[in-house]
Copies of this chain bind each other. A is one copy, B any other.
Amino acid sequence: MANIKLTIQYEGTNYIGWQKQPKGDSIQREIEKAIKQITGEEVDLIGSCRTDSGVHAIGQVANFHTNSSIPPDRFMYALNSKLPEDISIVKSEEVAKDFHSRYDAIGKRYKYLIYNHPIRNPLYRRFVYHVFYPLDYHEMNKGIRYFIGTHDFTSFMSANSNVDNPIRRIDQSFLSREGDLIIFSIEGNGFLYNMIRIIVGTLVEIGRGVMKPHNIPHIIESKNRELAGPTAPPQGLYLEKVYY
Contact = CB atoms under 8 A, between A and B. Distances in A.
Contacts of A120: 80, 85, 88
Contacts of A122: 9-11, 85-88
Contacts of A119: 76, 80, 88-90
Nearest to A87: B122
Interface in A29-87: 56, 58, 76, 80, 85-87
Contacts of A80: 119-120
A125 B84 CA distance: 11
Interface residues on A, range: 20 to 34
25 contacts: A9-B121, A9-B122, A9-B123, A10-B122, A11-B122, A11-B123, A11-B125, A56-B123, A58-B123, A76-B119, A80-B119, A80-B120, A85-B120, A85-B122, A85-B125, A86-B122, A86-B125, A87-B122, A88-B119, A88-B120, A88-B121, A88-B122, A89-B119, A90-B119, A123-B127
